[in-house]
Structure 1
Amino acid sequence: MAALSGLVALLLVTGTACGADSARPAGEESISITPTKIAGANYVAPARDVDSSCLAPAPVEDAVDPARIAVTDPRLLDDICALGLQSKVVAVVAKPGAIPTYLGRSVSSLPTIGSPADAIRAAAARPDVVVGDEGAASPFGSARTVSVDPNASWQDRFRAVAEGLGRRGAADQLLADFTAKAKSIGKGIDATHSQASLVRFGTDSETLMGTSSFAGQILALMGVQRPATQRAPGDAVVTPDTFDGADADIIYIAFDSPAGEKHGTSVMRSDRWLDMGAPSWQRTFVVDDPIWFTASGPTAARWVMLDVQQSLNGFSG
Structure 2
Amino acid sequence: MPVSARERTRFRRTAERAGRARSRGIAVGAALLCAVALTAGCADKTDDASTIIRTTTNIAGAGVVGADRDTATACPLPSAPDAGPGTTRAVTHTAGVSQVPADPQRIVVLTSSALDAACALGLWERVAGAVTLEGDRPQPMYLGYGVLEVPSVGPIGQPDPARIAELKPDLILGDIAPAAGGYEALRAIAPTVLIGQGGSWQSDFTAYAAGMGRRDAAATALRDYLTEAHDLGPALNASQSQASVLRFTADTTQVQGSETFAAQVLADVGVQRPTAQRGQSYDITADELATKAEGDVVYVMFDGEQGEEHGKQVLRSTEFEELGAATDRRVFAVDDKIWHTTGLTAARAVLTDLRNSLNGYVTD
Residues 138 and 95 of structure 1: CA distance in aligned 2, closer, same or farther (over 3 Å)? farther
Q: Which moved more, 1:71-80 or 1:214-223?
A: 71-80
* Equivalent-residue separation in structure 2 for 1:189 and 1:251 (angstroms): 16
* 2:109 corresponding residue in structure 1: 71
Equivalent pair of 1:211/1:217 in contact (CA under 8 Å)? yes
Select 2:141's aligned residue among 78, 98, 101.
101
State whether structure 2 residue 353 is matched by structure 1 residue 313.
Answer: no
* Equivalent-residue separation in structure 2 for 1:240 and 1:182 (angstroms): 34
Question: Post-superposition shift, 1:110?
Answer: 0.6
Equivalent pair of 1:72/1:93 in contact (CA under 8 Å)? yes
* Equivalent-residue separation in structure 2 for 1:273 and 1:20 (angstroms): 27
Q: Which amino acid counterpart does residue 74 of structure 2 have in structure 1?
A: S
Aligned residues: 294
3-state secondary structure, aligned to 2:300: strand
* 2:242 corresponding residue in structure 1: 195
* Equivalent-residue separation in structure 1 for 2:242 and 2:122 (angstroms): 35
* 1:59 corresponding residue in structure 2: 80
Residues 112 and 231 of structure 1: CA distance in aligned 2, closer, same or farther (over 3 Å)? same
Select 2:228's aligned residue among 181, 199, 224.
181
* Equivalent-residue separation in structure 1 for 2:253 and 2:34 (angstroms): 25
Residues 55 and 113 of structure 1: CA distance in aligned 2, closer, same or farther (over 3 Å)? same
State whether structure 2 residue 265 is matched by structure 1 residue 265.
Answer: no
* 2:348 corresponding residue in structure 1: 302
Select 1:82's aligned residue among 109, 112, 120.
120
Residues 275 and 121 of structure 1: CA distance in aligned 2, closer, same or farther (over 3 Å)? closer
* 2:57 corresponding residue in structure 1: 36
Residues 92 and 188 of structure 1: CA distance in aligned 2, closer, same or farther (over 3 Å)? same
State whether structure 2 residue 148 is matched by structure 1 residue 121.
Answer: no
Question: Post-superposition shift, 1:119?
Answer: 4.5
* Equivalent-residue separation in structure 2 for 1:281 and 1:20 (angstroms): 23
Question: Post-superposition shift, 1:139?
Answer: 4.0
Q: Which amino acid counterpart does residue 75 of structure 1 have in structure 2?
A: S
Q: Which moved more, 1:182-191 or 1:119-128?
A: 119-128
* Equivalent-residue separation in structure 1 for 2:306 and 2:160 (angstroms): 31
Select 2:339's aligned residue among 287, 292, 303.
292
Question: Post-superposition shift, 1:199?
Answer: 1.1
Q: Which runs of 5+ in 1 are unaligned?
A: 1-13, 22-28
* Equivalent-residue separation in structure 2 for 1:134 and 1:280 (angstroms): 45
Q: Which amino acid counterpart does residue 121 of structure 1 have in structure 2?
A: R
3-state secondary structure, aligned to 1:114: strand
Q: Which moved more, 1:173-182 or 1:93-102?
A: 93-102
* TM-score (norm: length of structure 2): 0.75
* 1:24 corresponding residue in structure 2: none
* Equivalent-residue separation in structure 2 for 1:19 and 1:78 (angstroms): 27
State whether structure 2 residue 235 is matched by structure 1 residue 235.
Answer: no
* Equivalent-residue separation in structure 2 for 1:20 and 1:81 (angstroms): 26
Higher relative contact order (CA 8 A, sep 6+): 2
State whether structure 2 residue 150 is matched by structure 1 residue 110.
Answer: yes
* 1:215 corresponding residue in structure 2: 262
Residues 158 and 260 of structure 1: CA distance in aligned 2, closer, same or farther (over 3 Å)? same
Q: Which moved more, 1:281-290 or 1:60-69?
A: 60-69
* Equivalent-residue separation in structure 1 for 2:211 and 2:35 (angstroms): 47
Select 1:16's aligned residue among 13, 18, 31.
31
Q: Which moved more, 1:91-100 or 1:61-70?
A: 91-100
Q: Which amino acid counterpart does residue 333 of structure 2 have in structure 1?
A: V
Residues 132 and 51 of structure 1: CA distance in aligned 2, closer, same or farther (over 3 Å)? same
* 2:200 corresponding residue in structure 1: 153
Question: Post-superposition shift, 1:279?
Answer: 0.5
Q: Which runs of 5+ in 2 are unaligned?
A: 1-28, 37-49, 88-101, 178-182
Q: Which runs of 4+ in 1 moved over 6 A?
A: none
* Equivalent-residue separation in structure 2 for 1:72 and 1:34 (angstroms): 28
RMSD over equivalenced CA pairs, Å: 2.4
Indicate the structure with greater strand content.
2
Identity of aligned residues (%): 39
3-state secondary structure, aligned to 2:108: strand
Q: Which moved more, 1:119-128 or 1:256-265?
A: 119-128
Q: Which moved more, 1:260-269 or 1:220-229?
A: 260-269
Question: Post-superposition shift, 1:177?
Answer: 1.0
